[in-house]
Amino acid sequence: MSEHASPPALVNETGAASILGLSVKTLRRWRWAGKPDLPFHKIGSAVRYDLADLTSFIEAGRRVSTSDPGPEAVQP
């Protein structure tokens, strides 16, 4: 019996926009511009977002204050 990895949990762009608190238009603009770093899947003409990628994107934006540069900032 072969083991198969479970498929990723995917949501459409309306669902992704709702989760992120953004408009679908913003997600479309981000995809067109290639930023920010938010991966998506094209399945035929359908656009889908992986829930794990959305969670990672949200976590990457976590800050403790408005002056917090985040984990990607280079410390001197």
DSSP label at residue 47: E
Query: Which pLDDT value is given to residue 4?
Result: 74
Query: Which pLDDT value is given to residue 62?
Result: 85
Q: Are 42 and 32 in contact (CB under 8 A)?
A: no
Per-residue tens of pLDDT for the chain, all 76 residues: 456 788 889 999 999 999 999 999 999 999 999 988 899 999 999 999 999 999 999 998 888 888 877 766 545 5
Q: What angle do CA 21, 61, 20 make, to 5 degrees?
A: 15
CA–CA distance, 35 with 10 (Å, rounded to integer): 20
Strands, sheet with 46-50, edge to edge from the N-terminal-most edge strand: 10-12, 46-50, 41-43
